[in-house]
């Protein structure tokens, strides 16, 4: 049984009859946090301390899904953080099976979360004003016109890092590469560096993304070669460091 959430009684009574209209935005521009309006820069600072609306939404959602017996695996910024890449995000991304999404709708939407108008798999946490995007395990990930091999992970594939189920590093990198977006490929470069990956790691990936991975690896090598912190080191004097003749 899911732990009850302390929402205002009037809101609880109306939640089942309404949805949230966010227009084209993923989340409200300014969120109200514990009775006060948060500026985005303040929220970003809180995020890096694991505080504020998004981290709380993640913890609440993980607890609610576990208590309801709904298998799940978090992707997006949550998974990036587990592997050493921390960056702010406006929402929470989670994968679950199609049947479990229906259970999520019937058991938690209307009592704990709200549907978002025009987005059948996007939901809204009224306590934190953060949206939750649900991806379906087994569906094609990324750009479908380019590939059909890499799919969103099944919860059974997850591994728990800091009490949060996330995909393996290889699966996360595959999900990033199949978007064919520069920002996601830049994330892969950072993941390669943070996890000390080498060229052989490509063999653990689906063939459809191996070349893309190697391009990211080459980019990492180039960045390290021209790292300003390295280039600005004073040149070693001739013969410096040599032992006595």
Q: What domain count does the chain have?
A: 2
Least confident of 116-120, 166-170, 176-180, 188-192: 116-120
Residue 244 lies in a domain: no
3 and 104 in a single domain? The answer is yes
What is the rounded distance in angstroms from the CA atom of residue 3 to the CA atom of residue 235? 62
What is the rounded distance in angstroms from the CA atom of residue 108 to the CA atom of residue 100? 11
The pLDDT of residue 197 is 98
What is the rounded distance in angstroms from the CA atom of residue 135 to the CA atom of residue 48? 25
Could you give the C-alpha distances from 189 to 46, 108, 195, 227, in angstroms and in order?
26, 37, 10, 14
The pLDDT of residue 9 is 40
43 and 147 in a single domain? The answer is yes
Helical residues (DSSP H) of 48-112, grouped into ranges: 53-67, 76-82, 98-107
Residue 112 lies in a domain: yes
What is the rounded distance in angstroms from the CA atom of residue 233 to the CA atom of residue 245? 27
Residue 239 lies in a domain: no
Domain boundaries, position 159: 1-167
The number of CA neighbours under 13 Å toward the Cβ of 50 is: 6
pLDDT in tens, 190-236: 999 999 999 999 999 999 999 999 999 999 999 998 876 644 545 55
Q: Is the pTM of this model over 0.75?
A: yes
Residue 117: its H or E element: none
Taking phi over 0 as left and psi of -120 to 50 as alpha, with beta for the rest, 47 belongs to alpha
Burial of 112 (0-12, 13-18, 19+ CB in 10 A): buried
213 and 163 in a single domain? The answer is no
138 and 156 in a single domain? The answer is yes
63 and 109 in a single domain? The answer is yes
The residue among 216, 220, 213 whose CA lies nearest residue 170 is 213
What is the rounded distance in angstroms from the CA atom of residue 242 to the CA atom of residue 244? 7
Q: How many CB atoms lie within 10 A of CB 30?
A: 12
pLDDT in tens, 69-114: 999 999 999 999 999 999 889 999 999 999 999 999 999 999 899 9
What is the rounded distance in angstroms from the CA atom of residue 105 to the CA atom of residue 141? 22
pLDDT in tens, 132-172: 999 999 999 999 999 999 999 999 999 999 999 999 999 99
Residue 231 lies in a domain: no
The pLDDT of residue 107 is 96
Q: Which residue has the tokens 């514990």?
A: 34
203 and 92 in a single domain? The answer is no
161 and 178 in a single domain? The answer is no
Residue 155 lies in a domain: yes
Question: Is there a contact between 159 and 169 (Cβ–Cβ < 8 Å)?
Answer: no
Residue 70 lies in a domain: yes
């Amino acid at each position: 049984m899911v732990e009850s959430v302390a929402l205002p009684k009037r809101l609880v009574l109306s939640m089942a009859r309404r949805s949230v209209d966010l227009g084209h935005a993923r989340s409200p521009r300014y969120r109200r946090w514990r009775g006060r309006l948060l500026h985005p820069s303040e929220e970003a600072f809180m995020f890096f301390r694991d505080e504020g609306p998004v981290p709380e939404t993640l913890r609440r959602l993980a607890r609610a899904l576990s208590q309801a017996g709904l298998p799940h695996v978090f992707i997006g910024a949550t998974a990036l953080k587990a592997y050493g890449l921390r960056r702010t995000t406006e929402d929470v991304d989670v994968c679950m099976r199609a049947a479990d999404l229906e259970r999520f709708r019937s058991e938690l939407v209307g009592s704990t979360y709200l549907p978002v108008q025009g987005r059948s798999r996007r939901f809204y946490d009224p306590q934190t004003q953060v949206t939750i995007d649900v991806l379906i395990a087994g569906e094609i990930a990324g750009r479908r016109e380019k590939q059909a091999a890499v799919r969103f992970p099944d919860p059974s594939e997850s591994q728990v890092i800091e009490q949060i189920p996330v995909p393996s590093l290889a699966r996360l990198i595959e999900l990033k590469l199949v978007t064919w977006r520069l920002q996601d490929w830049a994330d892969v470069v950072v993941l390669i560096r943070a996890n000390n990956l080498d060229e052989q790691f490509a063999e653990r990936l689906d063939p459809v993304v191996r070349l893309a991975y190697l391009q990211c690896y080459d980019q990492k090598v180039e960045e390290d070669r021209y790292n300003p912190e390295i280039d600005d080191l004073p040149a070693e004097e001739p013969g410096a460091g040599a032992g006595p003749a």
